[in-house]
Amino acid sequence: MSQRVYITGLGMISAIGNNVPESFLSLSQSKTGIGKINYLSTRYKDEFLAGEIKLSDEALVDLVQDNNSALNRNSYIAMLAAKEAVINSGIDTNDGLRTGVISSTTVAGMSKTELYYKEMFEKDDHLNVLDTHDCGDSTERIADYIGNVDYVTTISTACSSAANAIMLGCRMIKHGQLDRVVVGGVDALSKFTFNGFNTLMILDREWCKPFDENRKGLNLGEGAAFVVIEGENALNLRKGKPLAEVVGYANANDAYHQTASSPEGYGATLAIQQALKMSGLSTSQIDYINMHGTGTPNNDLSESFATKAVFGNQVPKFSSTKSFTGHTLAAAASIEAVISVLSLQHNMIFPNLNFTTPILETGLVPETSLVHTPLNTILSNSFGFGGNCSSLIFKKA
């Protein structure tokens, strides 16, 4: 059952680019995608910043080239990123091997439902929006867009969703149920999530400052990212080339509060420790941590304590790339998986922007400018509402 599992294709669309090459350019130029709100319809558009994809719904339709009127922003961006990953990997879903799509989302079709919800009670024009409201819709649209997909499912565990999709994909390959899986997550910006986070009072009105003593909160972002993962058997069969290996993963629960993390980061500590144990790596063998690092007072303190609990005084180099993309919720972990693979490929640590002052209690200092250094292993954390904590470990292939 212990077939090795590799990442063989990357796809991503977010505030820092419409594809992986554009994203890499923004990252290596330390250019954030977070800015003034242009596309989301909200009364707060001049008061807050967000990490929007720089394309209107109409422009996305042109890119996707699918005229299904029931589609929504969530499906468009998911289809684009998933297709990029499949093309990048070079797999042929028509070759008789078993292919799965495991996606994740929290907002699903809400970005469209919220536009027409009240109207639907009066007029019949937009009732088909109901068909695409649920989380499963975008996953099936991806599957149909790719073609010849044998297995689909969707996960929603808030902001750790895509990490869990990646983890499930790896497990299904190891258990021999699938040969390869397109895994990831998607969340388009919506009034619903924007106002949700605003009422929780965890949005920063300026650029977010992960791990800074004076951090005020997060900037919301939107995006989709998918990676193709393949078992070594399928990869060898087609003589494909791995980009990275997934060597560790774990999910644990904080069981502390519905939205807040425990002060000491107990669930996070468990997830990191279990992922490390599975990888067989010691703490000193982790070269870099791509942190969850949302920029909220609660998350960054809790994650810092968890990091110290696991790594002691030998905390590896770390940063939060949410200062580039904003917090993309269900897509965050797959966006950060793509970024981690780019880090491994190019031996680059992308900086934690906007940081000046370490958190008093922990004193941890992230990398604040682009670092060129040999990287072999990366730990990536993602934590969500409901105490859901997941950690992934990637290794240079």
| Active site amino acids | 159, 292, 327
Task: Give yes or no for residue 199 binding other proteins (CB under 8 A).
Answer: yes
What residues form DSSP beta bridges with 395?
245, 377
Pick the piece of the chain touching other proteins (CB under 8 A) from 8-16, 127-135, 295-303, 311-319.
127-135
User: Is 43 among the residues that bind other proteins (CB under 8 A)?
Assistant: yes
How far, in Å, CA of 222 to CA of 76, rounded? 12
Q: 388: number of CA atoms within 13 Å, CB side?
A: 17
Question: Could you tell me which of 145, 116, 144 has the C-alpha nearest to residue 130?
Answer: 116
Q: How open is the CA angle 337-160-389, to the nearest 5 degrees?
A: 110
Q: Which DSSP state fits 218?
A: B
Element of type H or E holding 79: helix 73-89
Query: What is the C-alpha separation between 306 and 312, in angstroms, rounded?
Result: 10
Site of tokens 């072999």: 376
Beta bridge partners of 104: 155
Stretch that binds other proteins, among 5-13, 100-108, 218-226, 343-351 (CB under 8 A): 100-108
Name the amino acid, one letter, at 323.
S
Q: Which stretch binds other proteins (CB under 8 A): 9-17, 195-203, 218-226, 320-328?
A: 195-203
Residue number, 118 or 239, with CB nearest to other proteins = 118
Residue 267 has what DSSP assignment?
H
Cβ 148 to other proteins shortest distance, Å: 11
Strands 288-290 and 49-50: unpaired
Positions 329 through 368 that interact with other proteins (CB under 8 A): none
What binding mask, one character per residue, do residues 60-99 give for other proteins by CB under 8 A, x or -?
A: ----------------------------------------
Report the alpha-carbon distance of residue 16 to residue 34 in Å, rounded: 8
CA distance 85 to 383: 24
Instruction: Write the interaction track for other proteins spanning residues 144-183; mark x where CB under 8 A is met and - where it is not.
Output: x----xxxxxxxxxx-----x---x--xx--x-x------
Distances (CA, A) of 127 to 113, 114, 152, 189, 386: 10, 12, 25, 21, 32
Q: Least CB distance from residue 119 to other proteins, whole Å?
A: 10
If one asks whether residue 239 binds other proteins (CB under 8 A), the answer comes out as no
At closest approach, how far in Å is the CB of 282 from other proteins? 23
Beta strands, E only, 171-234: 180-187, 223-231
Minimum distance of other proteins from residue 293's CB (angstroms)? 21
- Residue 91 or 349: which CB sits closer to other proteins? 91
Beta-bridge partner residues of 223 = 14, 187
Helix (H) or strand (E) holding 104: strand 99-104
Q: Should residue 128 be labelled a site residue for other proteins when binding is judged by CB under 8 A?
A: yes
Under the binding rule (CB under 8 A), the answer on residue 135 touching other proteins is yes
CA 119, distance to chain mean position in Å, is 33
150 vs 171: CA distance, rounded Å: 16
384 binds other proteins (CB under 8 A): yes
Query: Number of residues in contact with other proteins, rule: CB under 8 A?
Result: 66
x-or-dash string of contact with other proteins, 278-317, rule CB under 8 A: ----------------------------------------
Q: Which of 18, 23, 72, 113 binds other proteins (CB under 8 A)?
A: 113
SS3 assignment, position 233: helix
Q: Site for other proteins (CB under 8 A): which residue of 19, 63, 196, 371?
A: 196
Say which residues have a Cβ less than 8 Å from residue 296's Cβ, sequence separation at least 6: 202, 215, 217, 218
Question: Is residue 49 close enough to count as binding other proteins by CB under 8 A?
Answer: no
44 binds other proteins (CB under 8 A): yes
C-alpha to C-alpha distance for 95 and 180, rounded to whole angstroms: 12
Q: How far apart are CA 269 and CA 282, in angstroms?
A: 15
Residue 111 touching other proteins (CB under 8 A): no
Of 8-16, 38-46, 218-226, 333-341, which segment contacts other proteins by CB under 8 A? 38-46
CB of 346 to other proteins, least distance (A): 33
- Smaller CB distance to other proteins: residue 62 or 119? 119
Contacts with other proteins by CB under 8 A lie at 1, 42-44, 105-106, 108, 110, 113-114, 117-118, 120-121, 124, 127-128, 130, 133-136, 139-140, 143-144, 149-158, 164, 168, 171-172, 175, 177, 191-192, 195-196, 198-200, 251-259, 266-267, 270, 384-388
